[in-house]
Structures are given as C-alpha cells and as structure tokens.
Amino acid sequence: MTQPVDLPAWQALGQHFQASSKTTLRDLFAADNGRFDQFQLNAAGLFLDYSKNHITKETTSLLVQLADQSQLQNKIEAMFSGDVVNPTEGRPALHTALRNRSDKPVLVDGSDVMPGINNVIDRMRAFSDRVRNGEWKGHTGQAITDVVNIGIGGSDLGPLMACEALDAFAHDRLKLHFVSNVDGSHLASTIKHLNPQSTLFIIASKTFTTQETLANANSAKQWFLESDAEQGDVAKHFVALSTNTERVTEFGIDSVNMFEFWDWVGGRYSLWSAIGLPVMLCIGAERFVQFLEGAHAMDEHFRTAPLASNMPVTMALLTIWYNNFHSAHSHLIAPYDQYLHRFPAYLQQLTMESNGKSVHVDGSPISCDTGPIVWGEPGTNGQHAYFQLVHQGTHIIPTDFILPMESLNPIGNHHELLMANCFAQSEALMMGKNSEELTLEMQSAGAGPDEIDRLTGHRTFAGNRPSNTIMMQRLDARALGALIACYEHKVFVESAIWDINPFDQWGVELGKQLASAIQTELAGGKSVTGHDASTNGLINRTLKMRNLHA
Ligand code: G6Q
C-alpha cells in the first residue's frame, strides 16, 4: 500500500512548505488584496473565510492534488452508498441516510433503509407532539415538565450540545436535563428538584450494555418507584433509544416505548437518529426536520461540489497542512455564541474519537501524525483566559472562529461588541504587533525610551497565526445541522487522507472492559494482586480505607 507520505502531492507539499515557510500572513495580504474574495466559500447557509491561512493558490492546488491522489472522491461515494467503510466492525456508516430528505433510496445489503428511518421519525414526531402538547400524562395525570436523558458519549454529547445550541427555540414547559456521569452526584443533583410524577426519563444507549448508563437508569427507576409509583407506571415515565430490543425489554421498558436505530449508525454520529429525540422534544418536530434539512444540504454540497470549492474538504485540507507540515497539532474551536458553549466538547469527541488512530485501514502502522487535539470555549470568555497562549505562546494553534451575524437575543449593542471582539481576535492573531508599532503606541501614551526598551519583548506579538471564520445568518436549527455536518465531513476527509478508519473506537472499548473487571474486585472486597503494582496499590488502599470508614 502507498503510504500517504509517499504520495507525489505529499512530497510536493513538503518542498512547498520549505520554500514558503518564511513568508508571513502579513506578506501574503500585502502582496494580494484579493485574498478575501479568493479564499472564501459558501455552502448550505454557511460562509467560510479561510484567507487568514498560510496558503497561496499553489498550496491549495497541491492540497487538492493530495485529496485526489488519496482517492477522496471514491471514498466519499463509498460512504454515501452504504459500503462497509468501517471494516473493523464490518459496517457501513450511514448517518447521511438519517437526514436524507431526498426521495432517493439508500441500500444496505440490497434493501432500502429509508422506509425504516422515516417510520422512526414519524413515531418520534407522534410521541414528541403528545409530550409537548401535554396529552402524554404521567401516572398521576400530570403533564410532563422535565425530561432527563440518561446516556453517555455519543448518546449524550450530541443531543446535549444541540439542545443547548437551540435553547432559544425551546418549549416553554419542558426542561431538558442530561445525566451522563456515573458519579452519583450527577444523577442526584439533577433529580433533586424534580417531581417524579411529571418527569420523563429517556434511556439512550445504542448497545444498552453501557455500565454507566445502566447504573444511572437503574437508580433513576428506583427513585421513581420509591415515589409511590408502581411497576406498571414505568411505561409512562421511561422510554428507550436503542438498537437492542432484548436488553431494553429486560430493563423493563416496553418495546412500544422504544425508538430504534441501527448498528450502521456510529455513536458519535447518532444525533440524527432516535438519539435526537430530546432535541425534537425541545424544539418540536418541525424544527427537528429543519435541522435534518440543514445537514442534508451540507451533505449534497459535500458530495457534489468540486474538491477545490468544497467546504468540508477545504477545512480538512487546512488541518492536514498544519498538522502534518507545520507541526501544529492542536486545533482551537472558538464559537462566538453562548448557545454553542458545548460545541467544542462535542467536536472533541467527533474528531478525537474518530481520528485518534495509529494504524491504517489495513492495520499497518501509520507513518505520519493523525488527528490533532481539539479544544475550546466560547468567546469572549476565552479571550480573558487561554487566548494569551494562543497569541504569545510558543505553539501555533490554528483556530476556527464561529459567529452568527444576527443575535437571537438582541440587547443594546451586545451583538456588535461580540462581533467586534471576534474579528479583532482573528486580526490580532494574524497581524500581531511589531516593535515599531509598539514604540509608536507607547510613545503616544507618554512612555520614555527605557520603559519602551524594557517592555518591547513582552508587548510585541509575532502574529502570523492562522484562523478560519465561519459565519451564518443566525444560529437556528437549519444552520446548526449544516455546521455539524460540515465538521463530520471534515473529519471524514482527514481520515481518508491519512487512510485510517474514523468509525471505530477500540480505545473506548478497552476502558469499558477494564472498568468492569475492577468493579467486580471492588465489590468483592478482597485485596488484589493481579494488576501492576500501582493499580494493585490503588485498589487495595481503597478497600482498606472503605473498611476503616465502614
Ligand atoms: C461513540 C462511542 C461512544 C458511545 C458510548 C455510549 O461513537 O462509541 O461514545 O457512544 O460509549 O455507548 P452506548 O450508546 O452503546 O451506551
């Protein structure tokens, strides 16, 4: 197999990097004032300015050649067509079918999956309409006021992020809560103020075997039953989102109250399936469909736009350029929108679980760096915290600024201030401040030469730090759908170039296995010797301390 690093375009990019690495972003803008027009894209209601990157026409052309030589177009088609693109689990990855709003069939093993998908959407709609309009009653006849989603990882981060992001459109009566952590404090602090008679629990688990989720679900059921409810009342207060009917029934939830999805939906890509039920309850079925439509519009763009003007492809190629040629292994997501405050955490799972891999699809070791570290927090808060390192630290951290042009809560000039801060950050990161500019600034503030000399090193900024700015008219369901789908496809393109499988997660599985063995030992209460000395020590110390306090 040809390694990515052996592809002619990869080699050419290496030489291009050597030849261009001294040219700064300031130089590039000084040489060409048409950069903003040249390096921008529109897709599915999103606008991307990528002019503040270390690229020229030659760079983008070489990056597109790299995508071509990696067979990207074939790989995109394979994913959309339901081929087994997740070979280690022997599955397709068809999250795009879940939001397929066209009439086109999608075949898996020769049969069309669309009727099944549309049937579940219809059932979700009927259920969510009844909960929202108060027709669905708890066992004492009260309408539902609180919905608690119990799930973890892909069965938590997506719906949680989307409910927060679309909170401006949330139902007036229904309050959405999310419990993921097996730490009892998460469940306890959530249910503390809830009334069991008007609370609905959604148990969200693809496998319905996840330890944390089952522990939380069992404790929630116990809390409910201890509130003077009977076993027969569970049906009015517990529903399940899963692929595993047998386990759901075993838990005590009638399969009538189960919304199904399928093993060809990856956990971190499952927001568009029944796992999106909390989102539908929060914003209503009509808006949920708009959310799917936004994603579908991005899917169409991704599948049909030429690679050179394809938004997810462009964003992915920039990440490859920085990660593999500039040695910039960290990627900052800075949404300038409070509603997107969980978006970086969601993207962390999407990108790091998908592309945190060290072997190629065929299992051979990879010879280049793969997925970067993704992190972030909403601006403007980040500016008063970690942005110091982004401006003046020793790491170069490519940044995505995300900003709606219109506020959903227009108060005074708040939105203008927010936008001004966002644009100012990307400008400052790129332009920096050189010693001449600093000297002029300090002189006009009355500083003398000694003070200027003493502070120059501290107060100058090298700049030259790259960023993208993604804008949308306003953060509504459609725009959020398009934004998420854009990042999903970006991650896929990166994986295609590194030739890794973005759809498995064996690292997550290992943790699940080990925890279950240790939990049995902790419950057994006998001192252990079967682990390494540190793990034995930690377990035995815990057992001893527990006995002391028993
Ligand atoms: C996602 C991962 C992982 C998964 C959780 C929950 O892609 O596989 O985050 O979503 O481990 O799994 P269940 O939904 O099966 O409980």
Question: From ligand 1's centre to the CA of 188, what distance in Å?
Answer: 23
- Give the Å distance between the CA of 267 and the centre of ligand 1: 5
pLDDT of 550 strictly over 80: no
- Active site includes 353? yes
245 and 265 Cβ atoms separated by less than 8 Å:
no
218, two tokens: 């069992």
Question: Within 10 Å of residue 543's Cβ, how many Cβ atoms?
Answer: 17
Per-residue confidence at 546, pLDDT binned at 50, 70, 90?
confident
Q: In testing the pocket of ligand 1, which one of 181, 505, 509 has its CB within 8 Å of the most ligand atoms?
A: 505
Nearest-angstrom CA–CA distance, 483 and 486: 5
pLDDT of residue 475: 98
pLDDT band of residue 513 (cuts 50, 70, 90) is: confident
The minimum-distance atom of ligand 1 relative to the CA of 512 is 11
Residue 456's nearest CA partner among 444, 438, 440 is 438
Of 156, 203, 206, 214, the one to substitute when testing ligand 1's pocket (max ligand atoms within 8 A of C-beta) is 206
Nearest residue (by CA) to ligand 1, atom 2, is 267
pLDDT at 264 over 70: yes
The reported pLDDT for the residue numbered 174 is 98
Exactly one of 212, 353, 377, 494 is catalytic; name it. 353
For residue 55, how many other CB atoms are within 10 A of its CB?
A: 24
Ligand 1 site-directed mutation target among 91, 150, 152, 265, most atoms within 8 Å of CB = 152
Active-site choice (22, 192, 193, 384): 384
**Cβ–Cβ under 8 Å, residues 150 and 216:** yes
| Span from the CA of 209 to the centroid of ligand 1 (angstroms) | 10
Centre of ligand 1 to C-alpha 186, Å, is 18
- Give tens-digit pLDDT for 472-485: 999 999 999 999 99
Query: Checking DSSP bridges between strand 330-335 and strand 258-260, what pairing results, if any?
Result: unpaired
- For position 103, what pLDDT does the model report? 83
Indicate which atom in ligand 1 lies nearest the CA of residue 266: 7
What digits encode the pLDDT tens for the residues 299-353?
Answer: 999 999 999 999 999 999 999 999 999 999 999 999 999 999 999 999 999 999 9
- pLDDT tens per residue across span 173-187: 999 999 999 999 999
**Atom 8, ligand 1: residue with shortest CA distance:** 267
**Centre of ligand 1 from the C-alpha of residue 505, in Å:** 9
**Which one of the listed residues 57, 104, 414, 512 is annotated catalytic?**
512
How far apart are alpha carbons 321 and 313 in whole angstroms? 12
When pLDDT is cut at 50, 70 and 90, the band that residue 548 belongs to is low
Q: Which residue owns the Cα nearest ligand 1 atom 1?
A: 267
pLDDT at 509: 83
Quickly tell me which residue has 């699940």 as its tokens: 512
List pLDDT tens digits, range 93-136: 999 999 999 989 999 989 999 999 999 999 999 999 999 999 99
pLDDT digits (tens, 9 = 90+) for 420-457: 999 999 999 999 999 999 999 999 999 999 999 999 99
- pLDDT, tens digit, 9 for 90 and up, residues 37-79: 999 999 999 999 999 999 999 999 999 999 999 999 999 999 9
pLDDT at 549 over 70: no
What integer pLDDT is reported at residue 547 of this predicted model? 80
Task: Report how far ligand 1's centroid is from the alpha carbon of 410 (Å).
Answer: 38
**Mean pLDDT value of segment 272-284:** 98
Q: Is 52 a catalytic residue?
A: no
| Secondary structure (3-state) at 20 | helix
Instruction: Tell me which residues have their CB closer than 6 angstroms to ligand 1.
Output: 152-155, 205-207, 210, 213, 266-268, 353, 505, 508
**pLDDT of amino acid 512:** 81
> pLDDT tens for residues 14-41?
999 999 999 999 999 999 999 999 999 9
Query: In 3-state terms, the chain is what percent helix, strand and coil (to 5)?
Result: 55, 10, 30
Both tokens of residue 345? Answer: 């955490």
Nearest to 275 by CA among 98, 97, 480: 98
pLDDT computed for residue 461 by the predictor: 96
Nearest ligand 1 atom to the CA of 213 is 16
Question: Parallel, antiparallel, or unpaired for β 46-49 and 40-43?
Answer: antiparallel
Q: How far is the CA of 212 from the centre of ligand 1 (A)?
A: 11
Task: Compute the distance between CA of residue 188 and CA of residue 181 in angstroms, rounded to an integer.
Answer: 11
Q: What is the pTM of this model?
A: 0.97
Mean pLDDT for the chain overall: 97
Q: Check pLDDT > 80 for residue 1.
A: no
Query: Which atom of ligand 1 is nearest the CA belonging to 269?
Result: 7
Q: Is residue 521 among the annotated active site residues? A: no
User: Contact, 238 vs 123, CB < 8 A?
Assistant: no
Q: Which residue has the tokens 């401040």?
A: 433
Q: Residue 533 has what DSSP assignment? A: H
Alpha carbon of 242 to ligand 1 centroid (Å)? 11
